[in-house]
Chains A and B, each alone.
Chain A
Amino acid sequence: MKTWIPWITVIALAGWLLGSLRQPPETGFQTRDFGKLPVLLNGRIQPFDSVARNSLLQIRTRQSIEDVTADQWLVELMMKPDAADKRLVFRIDNLELLNLLGLSDKQKYFSFNDLQPHYGDIDQQAQRIDKLDTSARSVFEQQLMKLFNATQLYQRLKLTLCPADSKDLGREVAAYQQLIPDGIAAVRAKEAGQKYDEKTLNIFLGFLAEFDDMAKYAYPLVVPPLQDAKSRDDWQNAGTSLMSLSKGADLNPAVKSYVAMVAAYQNDRPEEFNQALEGYRQWVGQWYPAETGKGIHEAFYNFFQAFYKAIILYILAFLLAVTALLTFAIAPKLSETLRRTAFYLVILTGLIHTFAIVFRMVLEGRPPVTNLYSSAIFIGWGCVVLGLMLERVFAVGLGCAVASFAGFVTLVIAQNLAIDGDTMEMMRAVLDTNFWLATHVVVVTLGYASTFMAGFLAITYILLGLCTPLLGQKVGQLELGKVLTKMVYAIVCFATLFSFTGTVLGGIWADQSWGRFWGWDPKENGALLIVIWNAIILHARWGGLVRDRGIMNLAVFGNIVTSFSWFGVNMLGIGLHSYGFMEAAFNWLMLFIATQLIIILLGLLPSRFWRSFQGRAPAPGAAKA
């Protein structure tokens, strides 16, 4: 086989990645550029694009709708809600809920117009359920609350830029501005018991009531503070800003631009929309360069979907590496070509993975792990790095196979954790410390990663040993089985170092922030379990209590221990109750633990059942116990 095949394959895939970065120019309304505008939501600056995607994730569990992008949908919803109300954006899976609302169970997605006749029912149920403890809610009640929250979010988004029933915001705001002096005079006259023009007063109060609704319910804060404001964080929503006109304030340039954009969109005039958008982009870019830059960069990050692409590449690399492993005895040259391709591909994907993590860190101004979502991504990254290191030392394809498998699985878990919405939320006060996030959290997460890595390698050992003769085959000077044993031992050593140091650093953080080094809190106990488990593996080996196969079984059990500390402790006390997403996660966790137990049972089979050890007596890897 030719040595250029791996290079060509990887370069072609890199080309595909770069090609996916090119976007065709947008015709008509420049919603993509609109999506880059900065707003303040969840306490942080983010682009409209993130608002759109995260809202769609919560409402529809997807980041887009079939024929429109998230940005296009958001623009329509905020500017021409009547049209948006026809789109199928609400996802309902629960049959009881569909029955309650009298909706067909043939479809999954419903429009706001579909739901509107039943809004009273939803609201009534939600009032009742809201009083229940979250852990005491049934699946139906959970799903109803989810739908209720989705409709709330949807309606708040609608009020971000214009009042309900607005037909031409430009004219409406102009009329309001003109009416202000007379309106105020009428209000004062009425208060003083003097004669006033009732019609003027009513129209004026009508405007104020509509803007007041916007001020109360609008979702993101879209109006940046003026230059003389006290704090750069002092963003407002459009409603508050419009209300302040009646107190003598000038029309904020941002509001002026947004009103122009809305009016152009309502009147279907793309050029005017794009012009107003461009004007605002220049203004905000001039006065708020950091915020504007953040918006542009985060929108790029959203668009790139690096983790999603990495999933695809990891699958590909995994298939290549497994094929390489299975063929290395039959067709060594083909196997080597496939292995090299897989190796380069994991490096390429690892680079994208790293790039996306670093990009996220810069966007957030935080160390890599800040929540469960980012811990999944980082565990995957740690496994990939460890796997590549193993592959570099033992060039047999095992490192690649396990690295790509771990990368793929953890990123899929991360994607599922992201449906709650914003994954870059601000850190609560006690967590607001980059020093401890960078030390304790990173180290302990690497401890998780390496324990998983050892477990996955052990699974490979058991499966290959049972089903193939490969463990007995020589790679270089060593048998594959021995290579795997060395790998698992080395990784368990790493895992001990990381999990111990990480756990104790956590204790020191706790001592720093509330004076208790150790409080037997579930999360602490989970981390301690991993440390002890790794210590058990090492001591059992040193004491000769277990040999190769025994160590492998112990390492697989390490997967159970780690998954319990990573996820299980978050579900304590709710295992028996239904808890929305966590209920699904709980089932997955149980399934994972069950598969690990089955693998351990397989690993306990006497060595005569192992294809790799057949025809050899006595089996070299047999456990003593």
Chain B
Amino acid sequence: MFLERLIKFFASLRLTVVCLALGMVLIFTGTLAQVPLGLYRAQNEFFRSFFVYWQPEHFAWKIPVLPGGYLLGGVLLINLVSAHWQRFSLTRNKAGIWMVHVGLILLLLGQLLTDMLAQESTLHLRVGDARNYSESERAYELAVSDVTDPASTQVVAIPEPLLLKQRAISNPELPFTVRVHDFYANSTLTNNAAAGYEPAPGNVGTNGLWFKSLPRETAMNLRDLPSGIVEIVTPQGTGGSWLVSAYLTQPQAFIWQKRKYELLLRPERFYRPYSLRLEQFKHDVYKGTDVPKNFSSRLILDRPDTGEHREVLIYMNNPLRYAGETFYQASFDEDDGGTILQVVHNPSWVTPYLACLLVGSGLVVEFLSHLVPFLKRRRAV
């Protein structure tokens, strides 16, 4: 009895309309919220969440005010599936409706999969450079490298979320513990003492630097630049403290038990079994203007394990799809001497294509099946 009512509730058209209406409110407010929050945060708070919260000023807890994207998408999905289960029979005159809704289910599931599985990173290459890794756009990692033997460097990379917890981190590969003291997701550095800044511990390289925490960036074109203090804790006591920062692009070295180590806070890296080398980058403009006409990168793809070695050309609206990843022309260096490629790994990239085909043809079938008889009737009159 209860189950029946539950199914009825979940299959009702009223629920569809309410969810769609809430969806409109969510999308509208989520769009407006991009102005103060920035695209990235608005996306996370409105669309990639179960609830949208509101925190009144000077208030400790947040109040959920709107269902978020995950919740609405989920309920709509249940609604769709149970409506079909309950109401629709698979008959010929319902074919259009079926195609539309199966397409929508596919679209929603595909987007959920994309959300969970897709990974984006960037590959920055100067002309002549070759790289076999791309870097995260937002996340950093602390690389602790054993560089005693220049031929084979051992790297232990500590991801940023772990650093932000400000704990002691140990790893079987490391003969010491890395204790994270202050760690700020966004920060700034200065050479002089100033109000609000903390001094860096007095080790080589970062001597005399001061740093402080900053609020997270909201603008699309700005990135958070983290900084923090890490201490190397050995069984014999402290091995020294260092300021690590996204601003410091050179590694800081130290010696422990006659082995040389380096510390570097760098964008998180994704390695792959092949490399790309930039041969040429072209930035064409329309004659007499600075309006860009095309950006293109000519690259050499080199894969040692299969011996593959070939030239590829990536330009606007023409990405390279290779080994489950796609490389897009995203940006370039100001002096036109380098290219920035966006690397996307998205196993469910094909679902929107199929969904679009299904829904589009479903809608056409459905409307024609109403329109044609209607016009025939009118003609007959």
Give chain A's interface residues, CB within 8 Å of chain B: 40-44, 221, 233-235, 393, 425-426, 428-430, 432-433, 436, 476-477, 490, 493-494, 496-497, 500-501, 504-505, 507-509, 511-522, 525-526, 528-529, 532-533, 535-536, 539-540, 542-543, 545, 561, 564, 569, 572-573
Contact = CB atoms under 8 A, between A and B. Distances in A.
Given A432-B294, A497-B363, A233 B316 contact: no
Given A490-B371, A545-B14, A572-B31, A513 B317 contact: yes
Contacts of B31: 520, 522, 525-526, 569, 572
Contacts of A535: 20
Contacts of B285: 43
A516 B342 CA distance: 10
A474 B101 CA distance: 38
B279 interface: no
25 contacts: A42-B289, A43-B293, A221-B288, A235-B287, A425-B291, A426-B286, A426-B293, A428-B292, A429-B316, A477-B381, A493-B363, A493-B367, A493-B370, A497-B363, A501-B360, A504-B360, A505-B356, A511-B352, A513-B328, A515-B326, A515-B328, A529-B28, A543-B12, A545-B14, A572-B35
Given A520-B30, A539-B20, A543-B14, A512 B295 contact: no
B13 A543 contact: yes
B174 interface: no
Interface string B76-105: 000000000000000000000000000000
Given A426-B293, A517-B114, A41 B355 contact: no
A525 B23 CA distance: 11
A97 to B, nearest CB: 29
B28 A520 contact: no
B58 to A, nearest CB: 25
Contacts of A501: 356, 359-360, 363
In the A-B complex, the 7 residue pairs with the smallest Cβ-Cβ separation, listed nearest first, are: A43-B286, A543-B13, A515-B344, A504-B356, A573-B35, A233-B287, A497-B363
Interface of B: 12-14, 16-17, 20-21, 23-24, 27-28, 30-32, 34-35, 39, 42-43, 46-47, 107, 111, 114, 120, 285-289, 291-295, 316-317, 319, 326, 328, 330, 342, 344, 346, 349, 352-353, 355-356, 359-360, 363-364, 367, 370-371, 375, 378, 381
Nearest to B36: A573
A520 B30 CA distance: 9
B17 A540 contact: yes
Contact of A520 (B32, B39, B355, B375): B39
Given A42-B286, A430-B316, A508 B353 contact: yes
Nearest to A535: B20
Nearest to B120: A515
A427 B202 CA distance: 55
B17 A43 contact: no
Contact of B352 (A40, A42, A428, A508): A508
B106 to A, nearest CB: 11
Contact of A508 (B16, B17, B346, B356): B356
A572 B328 contact: no
B78 to A, nearest CB: 16
Contacts of A497: 360, 363-364, 367
Given A518-B352, A520-B39, A543-B13, 9 more contacts: A43-B285, A43-B291, A426-B291, A504-B352, A521-B39, A522-B34, A525-B30, A535-B20, A542-B13
Contacts of B342: 514-515
Contacts of A513: 316-317, 319, 328
A496 B120 contact: no
A536 B352 contact: no
A515 B341 CA distance: 11
B51 to A, nearest CB: 17
A494 to B, nearest CB: 7
> What DSSP secondary structure best describes chain B's contact surface?
helix
B34 A504 contact: no
Contact of A494 (B35, B349, B355, B367): B367
Contacts of A221: 287-288
B138 to A, nearest CB: 15
B17 A393 contact: no
B13 A545 contact: yes
A393 B376 CA distance: 11
B288 A543 contact: no
A24 B157 CA distance: 80
Nearest to B115: A518
Given A43-B287, A493-B367, A517-B114, A429 B295 contact: yes
Given A234-B287, A511-B349, A514-B328, A500 B360 contact: yes
A533 B28 CA distance: 12
Nearest to A568: B31
A508 B31 CA distance: 21
A517 B114 CA distance: 9
A516 B344 contact: yes
Nearest to B330: A514
A429 B294 contact: yes
Contact of A515 (B294, B319, B364): B319
Contacts of A430: 316-317
A425 B289 CA distance: 11
Contacts of B35: 572-573
Contact of B317 (A426, A512, A517): A512
A234 B32 CA distance: 45
A574 to B, nearest CB: 9
A476 B381 CA distance: 10
Residue among B317, B342, B344 with the highest chain A CB neighbour number at 10 A: B317
Contacts of A433: 316-317
Contacts of A505: 356
Contacts of B316: 429-430, 432-433, 513
Contacts of B111: 517-518
B381 A393 contact: no
B355 A504 contact: yes
Contacts of B359: 500-501, 504
Contacts of A436: 317
A624 B179 CA distance: 67
A436 B318 CA distance: 12
A536 B326 CA distance: 36
Given A221-B288, A430-B317, A500 B363 contact: yes
A532 B25 CA distance: 11
Contacts of B378: 393
Given A235-B287, A515-B326, A543-B13, A429 B293 contact: yes
B118 to A, nearest CB: 8
B360 A536 contact: no
A235 B288 contact: yes
B229 to A, nearest CB: 36
A519 B370 CA distance: 35
Contacts of A512: 317, 319
B158 to A, nearest CB: 28
A511 B289 CA distance: 29
A231 to B, nearest CB: 8
A436 B363 CA distance: 21
A594 B81 CA distance: 39
A540 B326 CA distance: 41
A564 B28 CA distance: 10
A25 B53 CA distance: 72
A528 B27 contact: yes
A500 B107 CA distance: 12
Nearest to A477: B381
A543 B11 CA distance: 12
Nearest to A500: B359
A423 to B, nearest CB: 15
A444 B73 CA distance: 23
Residue among B286, B295, B375 with the highest chain A CB neighbour number at 10 A: B286
Nearest to A496: B363
Contacts of B349: 511, 517
B261 to A, nearest CB: 37
Contacts of A43: 285-289, 291, 293
